[in-house]
Structure 1
C-alpha cells in the first residue's frame, strides 16, 4: 500500500488539511460511504469517511470525553444511554466508564465502520465491545428512535457525520421529537454541530429544530485539533434547564462517584462548566442571528 503519500481533507471549499501517510491500512466502499484507515506520521491511525476526518488516535480523547462525560455527569443519574453512530467505539467506551451506567445501546448504520475500527484502531473502543452492559446494533438509528418505547433512556448521544449524506436524517424535526419522547423526565440529547466558524448554518439550524422539542437548547465547545476551523460545538437539548447549571464542585463529586475523576486527558470539572461559556460569534448562532 501507499507509503509517504499525502491525504488531503477538503471539508471546506478553498481550505483543508493534509496528512503524510506512513501506511494505508484499509480502503473500503461500503453500502453507505467511502471508508479509509491509514497510519499517519503525526496523529497515529486516522479514520476518514467520504474523505473527511472522523477520528485520529492522537486527539480522539478530546471529542469522545466531552461528548460522553458532559451529558452523563450533568444528568448525574443516567442509567440507560442510547448512542447513535459512534461506530469507532470511543463514545461507548467512555459511557461504560461510568459506574452508574446499567445499559448502553449503540446503533451504527454502517457495520463496516465497526469492523474496521475494531481491526485497525482497537484501542479506541477497548473492552467496550464485550462489556455485558453494551448492546451494539448495526442498523438505522432513525428507525430505532422511532420505535423505542417512551421514557426508555436517560440520555441520547449522537455522534454522526455532518448533515449531508448518511448523517442528514439525524438532524431532522422528527428525529429530535422522537428523542424527546424516548427520554425520561430529566433526559437530554447531545450531538455534534460542526465548527461554527466555518459551519454556522449547522449550529443555527439544529438549534432551531431542537427547540421545537426541548425547552433548554444550548451548545458547548471542545477544542479538537483535527476538526479544523476553531472550536467544535456540541449541541445540547434538555428537558431540565437545571442540568446545564450544575456547579463545579457538584460535578466533581459526581465524577468521583461515577469513577471518572482522574481518568481523563481533556475533561475536568472546570472544563465542563467553562465549555458552556460561549464566545459571542458562537452564541449568536443559537439565537438564529
Structure 2
C-alpha cells in the first residue's frame, strides 16, 4: 500500500487514494503540504494527509459556497474569503462581475505559492485579478479587527483541528457577524454530518444565537467521504427565501457556466435529511 495515501480524519472510517505520482511533499511552519496525481481525481492537495481539494471535484465545493450566497443576496459587491489558499474559492467569486472587491485572508503564504505552481487549474488566474486583495494573516485575528462591511463572508476552513480550530468558535462567528453589512450572509464549511455531527451542531448553536436565519445546506463532494457535506448559513436578512424564478434570472444575468450549481440545486440544497435536522439545536 506504499503507493496509496490513507486519510484517517475520522476515528472509525478511512479512505484511500492511489498515488500515481507525487509532485510536491513538504512541511511548512503550519502543516505538511502534499500534491499528487490520481487517475480519477487528477491533482490532489492534502494537508497533513487529509484531502483538501482535487482537480476533479473541487468545483462542487467552491460553487456551492460562492454562488449560493452571492445569488441569494442579489447585490453582493464586497466578499471576504477566510482561507481558500488554493484559489478555487476566489476563482468562483470573481466569476461574478457584480463583485467589485474580494478580500482573501489566508494564514499560510506557502499554500498560495505552491498552489499557483502545482494547482493552477484551481485558481485559473484569480490571484492576478485586480479585484482580489490577498491578506496573509490568521483569519480569526483579521475578523476581530476588520472594519467589515462585507456582503458575503465565506469561511473556507480546514477541519476544526490545528490552525483551523479557531475558525469554529463562538467568538469568531460573533466577529464575523459584526463584519457583515446589513443583509449580509455568512457561510461556512461544516464537514460531513454523518461522521462529524458535533461540528455542525456546535456551529448551528452559535449561528442560532447570532442570526435571525440560521441553518445549513448540503452538497455531495466525492472526496469528502461519508455522505453529503454541510455548509452553515447565517443572515439577518430574508435571502434564503429568494424565489426560484429570481435565482434563475440572476443566474442567467451572471453568465455562469458551472459544473454543479443550478438555481434548482440551490433551492433543493436547503431541504435537509432527517438525520441532519437532528443535528440542529
Structure 1, unmatched stretches of 5+, are none
- The Cα offsets for residues 88-135 of structure 1, whole Å up to 9 and x where unpaired, read as 100101000001100001000011111111111101001111001011
Shift of 1:259: 2.5
1:90-169 alignment to 2 at 5 Å?
90-150=88-148, 152-169=149-166
Distance in 2, matches of 1:159 and 1:94, equals 13
- The answer to whether the aligner puts 1:283 opposite 2:271 as a matched pair is no
Write out the 4+ residue segments of structure 1 that deviate beyond 4 Å after TM superposition.
none
| TM-score normalized with structure 2 length | 0.97
Q: Is the 8 A contact 1:45 1:121 kept in 2?
A: yes
* 1:4 positional shift: 7.8
State the TM-score, normalizing by the size of structure 1: 0.95
Q: 1:249 aligns with which of 237, 245, 251?
A: 245
- Matched residue SS, 1:26: strand
Residue deviations 1:35-73 (CA, integer Å, cap 9, x gap): 111111221000001110000111011101001100101
1:220 alignment counterpart = 217
What is the aligned counterpart of 1:273 among 260, 267, 270?
267
RMSD over aligned CA atoms reads 1.2
Partner SS, residue 78 of structure 1: coil
1:77-96 aligned at under 5 Å gives the runs 77-96=75-94
- How far apart are residue 180 of structure 1 and its match? 1.1
CA distance in 2, matches of 1:78, 1:65: 16
Residue 40 of structure 1 is matched in structure 2 by: 38
Match of 2:230 among 228, 233, 240: 233
Q: Distance in 2 between matches of 1:141 and 1:19?
A: 30
Q: How far apart in 1 are the matches of 2:75 and 2:248?
A: 14
Match of 1:21 in 2: 19
Q: Is the contact made by 1:35 and 1:50 (CA closer than 8 Å) also made in structure 2?
A: yes
The count of aligned residue pairs is 281
